[in-house]
Structure 1
Amino acid sequence: MEWSSGEYPEKLAIAMKNFDCVFSAWDEDKLVGMICAMDDGIMNAYIHYLLVHPDYQLKGIGKQLVERVKKHYNDYLKIIVICLNENIKFYEYCGFEKQEDKRALFITELEN
């Protein structure tokens, strides 16, 4: 799986330290999955990364990680995820609903 953030390891290391919520899944000493979320402190949480090593996909690890985030943010009004179209079914399986009247918007090229 190609992960564009992986092209910037120094920035990624800093970003990982700044997330409000990080859960990981391990097979002994091997990291096989992780999920990162951020929040506004009271109402909204955003799942930013959910990664599961390809050899461990379709074993329930991703769903367990999402469930941990849902439990962590149980008192919040919303948990939001922006995902690729190919991952919509997975997130629907985890309880998220696609809202037809809303779209995610991005700026991917920022000037320095």
Structure 2
Amino acid sequence: MSVEWSSGQYPEKLVIAMKNFDTVFSAWHEDELVGLICVMDDGIMNAYIHYVLVKPQYQLKGIGKALLERVKNHYHDYLKIAVITMQSKSKFYEYSGFEKAEDKCALFITDLDD
């Protein structure tokens, strides 16, 4: 994928991570991978979308929305599907049916070397 993806800087770890996701859906154009969505879940109530990636030249063609629809269909019996995104990308998720929670915020630890 040719998108700005920090996890792509760690290919060995990424291979392991991809194998450990509960759900992975992909989008293809002929033999070229053009989109990917990865989800973790607790098996019954909550699913967390971790990655939604679409190659830049395939963006704005409905691929990301179609991947999200596959996830929503797959997890239709769950109580919640959550996603954490960059502020600049939040409109895409809102357009796809996600809502901002006014009383919640996302917290991260990104440097575990300390």
Q: What range is the shorter-chain TM-score in? A: over 0.9
Is there any run of 5+ residues in structure 1 with no aligned partner, and where? none
Structure 1 residue 2 displacement after superposition:
1.7
Q: Give, as a single letter, the amino acid of the residue that structure 2 aligns with 1:68.
A: R
Structure 1 residue 100 displacement after superposition:
1.1
CA distance in 2, matches of 1:2, 1:24: 18
Task: Spell out the pairing of 1:31-50 with structure 2 (5 A cutoff).
Answer: 31-50=33-52
What is the number of equivalent residue pairs in this alignment? 112
Of the candidates 50, 57, 60, which is equivalent to residue 62 of structure 2?
60
1:7-58 Cα offsets, whole Å, 9 max, x none, are: 1000001000000000000000000000000100100000000000000000
Question: What does residue 19 of structure 1 align with?
Answer: 21
Is there any run of 5+ residues in structure 2 with no aligned partner, and where? none
CA distance in 1, matches of 2:64, 2:76: 18
Identity of aligned pairs, percent? 75
Runs of 4+ in 1 over 6 A off after TM superposition: none
TM-score by length of 2: 0.96
CA distance in 2, matches of 1:104, 1:46: 13
Question: What does residue 84 of structure 2 align with?
Answer: 82
Q: Give, as a single letter, the amino acid of the residue that structure 2 aligns with 1:85.
A: Q
